[in-house]
Amino acid sequence: MRTSCRLLLTFVLVTALLPVAPVAAQQKADPVAPLLWQPSMNIFRRFTVDRAKMIEFYGKVLALRPLSTFELGGGSQMTRFGVGTSEIKLTASLPRDRQYPSGGVKEVTGLRVITFFFPDEAQLTARFKANGYPAPEFHNNRAMVKDPAGEWVELVVAPGAPASTFDRIEVGLTVSDIEKSRAFYREFVGLEELPPVHDAQLGTTKYPYRHGTTTVNLWSFGKGLPANTGTSGIQYVVSDAAGVDVRAKATNQKIDSALGFTLPGLKTIWLSDPDGVTNYFAETNQSRTAPRPTATR
């Protein structure tokens, strides 16, 4: 009897000392960040208004750098503008499997705001007036305006700032569950988490996440808001779309369009963040083979 007890005690002690891999660590996948090839993100906006008005607003009023128009096939086009290494992509189409409620930044979840930076308020205001738009109302060097499709654009004037300031963009996402969204952009995408700040204009805390010259700002005004899942979204150019697919499946992310070639040489996987905002990852012939470019912050 005593021998059996001693053997049982020895077994328990030895078993307790054996290394056991934590369950959470076994299920946790590496973030996508090491696969991000472009040192920024691209932002797309879909619209149904006159294309010429959108081109005028982003090209003449905001004076963004024009890029070549991309033919999507079937008579559809993507109009592109550059800000540093980022692109603003405008498409006149609204997929039927998405939702498009309109409203203020505090009234609808989704990608609600694109922020651009400018060196001179007077010149920017003059361009608005010259093209028939009301002059922006600036408060503490910031103004909120709407583009011709009714989507929000934030203008930030930074006189005397380094030239690299004006190669940056920010996007503002209104989310329903701040912790879920923070986890998605911090742990799955792997963006650099910056300290939270109080946004006096919106009256809430803003949680910034950065990749190169693009910053994603998250804020929340509670649950139960209508969700805009189609007007705007984020594109990442990656070196390995299949690697994103592996990480997405390992962490049970919502996959909207499976990994595959959508155009010759373009391999993509389309995901949704916790509020249905499109995050799509594109591997191009260039990003597949060329060294990663760099950009200053």
Q: Three-state SS across the chain?
A: CHHHHHHHHHHHHHHHHCCCCCHHHHHCCCCCHHHECCCCCEEEEECCCCHHHHHHHHHHHCCCEECCCEEEECCEEEEEEEECCEEEEEECCCCCCCCCCCCCCCCCEEEEEEEEEECCHHHHHHHHHHCCCCCCCCECCEEEEECCCCCEEEEEECCCCCHHHHHCEEEEEEECCHHHHHHHHHHHCCCEECCCEEECCCCEEEEEEEECCEEEEEEECCCCCCECCCCEEEEEEECCHHHHHHHHHHCCCEEEEEEEEEECCEEEEEEECCCCCEEEEEECHHHHHCCCCCCCC
| Per-residue pLDDT, 71 | 72
pLDDT block averages, 10 residues each, the chain of length 297: 46 42 51 98 96 97 93 78 98 90 95 98 98 96 96 97 97 98 98 96 95 98 96 98 98 97 92 98 96 74
pLDDT value, residue 77: 84
The structure's pTM equals 0.88
Task: Give the pLDDT confidence score for residue 76 in this predicted structure.
Answer: 76
Q: What is the pLDDT of residue 9?
A: 43
Q: Where are the domains of the chain?
A: 42-289
Q: Which CATH number fits domain 42-289: 3.90.1150.10, 3.30.710.10, 3.30.230.10, 3.10.180.10?
A: 3.10.180.10
Give me the pLDDT at residue 75, please.
64
pLDDT at 133: 97
Give the gyration radius of the chain's Cα atoms. Answer: 23
| pLDDT given for residue 294 in this prediction | 77
Q: Are 111 and 277 in contact (CB under 8 A)?
A: yes
Tokens of residue 16, six digits: 């307790």
* pLDDT, position 73: 65
